[in-house]
Structure 1
Amino acid sequence: MHPLSYTSANWQKWLPALAAIGAVLWLILFRSDPTSERALFAALLVIYMVHQTEEHLWPGGFRQFANAHVFKSGNDDWPVDEGGVALINIGYVWLPVALAALFPGPLRWIGLGWVGVTLINAVIHIVTSIRFRIYNPGLITSIVLFLPFTIWVLTREVSAGTLSGLQVVLVLVLGVVLHIPVAALFVVPFRRARDKTRSA
């Protein structure tokens, strides 16, 4: 099997081990300075892995949920497909957050932007469950991890004088804007296919 295909099919199986390793490393590296921005961005990555575990492993099924309830495509793997999900979760979440944790000075706003992404992601999960009146994979960790953590980070940054009220608004705007490429990855091909079907 091609390495990319293998990764797309199996990345979610690595999540519990990666989250556990990340948590141990965080405790070792940041126990003396747990509220530095480097520590906060590193914690965000670990928390996101726990959230991804709920979405894609235990109980999993986020891809199937989105295709069935959001797109109503009748296909468990389209338009939200296995490869696209792996790309988003590894390339669009792990990579920028990890880089922000490694280089919190020059990449501070990358980290803050993904704090916004995480907060908006939580809101989307909650609104989706309210809209469809059904559990969607990722809902529990959105409520118990994403919301309290991101709100605490923003509150802490404001209290420390490292973020202004206007900058908090910018973080939230970034959280919305940075969701656009994610949505476009799946919405654009879905609409194109639907339009071709209608015109045929």
Structure 2
Amino acid sequence: MPLLTFIANNWQRALPALAIVGVIAWLVAFHADPTSARALFAALLVIYMVHQTEEHLWPGGFRQFTNAHLFKSGNPDWPVDIDGVALVNIVYVWVPLALAVIWPEELRWIGLSWVALTLVNGIIHVVTTLRFRVYNPGLVTSIVMFLPFTLYVLYHEVATGALSGIEVAALLVAGVLLHIPVAALFVVPYLHRRQAHA
């Protein structure tokens, strides 16, 4: 089995261990300065791993839920497929946040933009549940972790004078716009096939 295929099929199985290691590493590295930019970005990365566990491992089913309720494709693995889910969650989530942890000053706006992306993601989970009146994988961690943490980060940055109200508004816009490439990854092939069949 090619390495990329193996990763796409199995990455989510590593999430609990990664999250536990991440929590321990965070406590060791940032217990003395838990609100530094590096600490906040690192915490978001760990929180995201817990969220991804709910979406894709236990109880899992995010891919199937999206295909059934949003796309109504009749195919549990299309257009949101295994490869696309791995690409988004590893490359689009882990990599930018990891880079922001390594270079928190140089990549501060990247880290903050991903904080806003996470806030918007959490809101989307809540709205989706209200729309379909059914649990969607990722809802619990969105309510318990995403929304409180991201709102705290933005509040903290404003309270310390590191962000202005206008900058927060711009970040929220960025959080919405950052979802466009993710949506396009699945919507474009869906519309293309639909148009071809029409």
Report the TM-score, using the length of structure 2 for normalisation.
1.00
Alpha-carbon distance, 1:146 to partner: 0.2
Alpha-carbon distance, 1:54 to partner: 0.2
- List per-residue Cα deviations over 1:2-43 (Å, max 9, x = no partner): 000000000000000000000000000000000000000000
Match of residue 66 from structure 1: 66
- Matched residue type, 1:62: F
Hey, what's the Cα distance between the residues in 1 that align with 2:169 and 2:28?
Answer: 33
Runs of 4+ in 1 over 6 A off after TM superposition: none
Alpha-carbon distance, 1:109 to partner: 0.4
- Matched residue type, 1:135: Y
Match of residue 101 from structure 2: 101
- List per-residue Cα deviations over 1:83-121 (Å, max 9, x = no partner): 000000000000000100110011000000000000000
Report the TM-score, using the length of structure 1 for normalisation.
0.99
Hey, what's the Cα distance between the residues in 1 that align with 2:33 and 2:102?
Answer: 15
- Matched residue type, 2:44: L
Hey, what's the Cα distance between the residues in 2 that align with 1:118 and 1:157?
Answer: 16
Alpha-carbon distance, 1:155 to partner: 0.3
- Matched residue type, 2:99: L
Question: Over the residues paired in the alignment, what is the CA RMSD in angstroms?
Answer: 0.3
% identical aligned pairs: 66
Query: Is structure 2 residue 140 aligned with structure 1 residue 140?
Result: yes
Alpha-carbon distance, 1:166 to partner: 0.4
1:80-159 matches, within 5 Å, as 80-159=80-159
Hey, what's the Cα distance between the residues in 2 that align with 1:174 and 1:102?
Answer: 22
The 3-state SS of whatever aligns with 2:77 is: coil
Match of residue 27 from structure 1: 27
The 3-state SS of whatever aligns with 1:54 is: helix
Hey, what's the Cα distance between the residues in 1 that align with 2:9 and 2:113?
Answer: 28
Hey, what's the Cα distance between the residues in 2 that align with 1:71 and 1:179?
Answer: 17
- List per-residue Cα deviations over 1:106-158 (Å, max 9, x = no partner): 10000000000000000000000000000000000000000000000000000
Gaps of 5+ in 1: none
- Matched residue type, 1:80: V
